[in-house]
Amino acid sequence: MQVLVTGGAGFIGSHIVDRLLLRGNDVIIYDNLSSGFRRHLEPALKTGKAVLVEGDILNGRKLVKAMKDVSTVFHLAANADVRGGQADTGVDLRQNLLGTRSVLESMRTTGASEIVFTSSATVYGEPDRFPTPEDYAPLQTSLYGASKLGAEAIIQAYGEYFGIRSCVFRFVSWLGERYSHGVVYDFINKLRANPKELEILGDGNQKKSYLHVDDGTKGIFLALDKISGLKNVINLGHVDYIDVKSVARIVSDEMGLKKVVYRFLGGSRGWLGDSPLVHLDLSKIKQLGFYPNVGIEEGLRRTARYLLENIWLLDIRKMK
């Protein structure tokens, strides 16, 4: 089966590509390389079973051409900066909402029959139910979350109109090899600049449920192999959570820094749209046999070690 992965050169996307190849698929990687890296794809491209097409998902003509003879689309291409929508209020609309519509239009044109969409726990806004289930009715607190929820709605509508089967996964933050943005990335770069002091957004008590990429990709394919139905929405996260102060201590420890002063900027959330607690109800995916193997602390340490061994990834964002 031939599969197309938008955003396939990114952190999560490149791991999805690797899993697809192991399953015997031919893979078309569609990425504009604005935040992904060709270097992540070197093992995949060497197999001869994967090809990279450089293009933007808003370029419908190019996307249709790349999607010829494809049955399933893994749609990961998106703006991943939750905070960015405050400075540029159009970025989430363009890249997440209109980008998803462009992917669906290309699927309608080519006859691709299934979309796997990476949504986000941010669609729940700032919930008051924990763990938060898939049927929680959210009030939006960020343009990013609103754009992801809107993309989910458009996907479901295309499914109703054109029979496109959808599997929507609502993610927590992921950790692991090839990780290229997020709290661990930010903390390491800040500590490289000043090993004595670390500025932390919020009060440090924000609690997040981080998932290692090995567990995340395992969960996706476990669900895809077992679920049925035209429209599916599934939470994917960790059973545990950790506070930001503990993340800072773990990162400092991995860098060999013992006397770092933590300076908190205050408030219960790191930025507008940030939720003080992210903890998803995993009942649906656990019924399929999912359980994370990598503990959150282990995932944080593995991520920090990977970044410290791949300094190019820490430096390259400064050049973009």
**Whether the Cβ atoms of residue 200 and residue 134 lie closer than 8 Å to each other:** no
Does the bond joining 292 to the residue before it have cis omega, within 30 degrees of 0?
A: no
Residues 117 and 75 sit within 8 Å (Cβ to Cβ): yes
70, 4 contact by CB (below 8 A): yes
Q: Which two tokens stand for residue 7?
A: 């955003």
CA distances from 51 to 13, 17, 60, 66 (A): 14, 10, 19, 10
DSSP state of 95: I
The CA dihedral of 304, 117, 42, 292, to the nearest 10 degrees, is 40
Residues 213 and 15: beta-carbon distance below 8 Å: yes
136 catalytic per annotation: no
Q: Alpha-carbon distance 121 to 164, whole Å?
A: 23
Catalytic residue among 30, 144, 158, 241: 144
Q: Where are the alpha helices (DSSP H) in the chain?
A: 11-22, 42-46, 60-66, 84-87, 91-92, 99-110, 143-162, 183-193, 213-226, 244-254, 283-286, 296-309, 311-319
Active site residues: 144
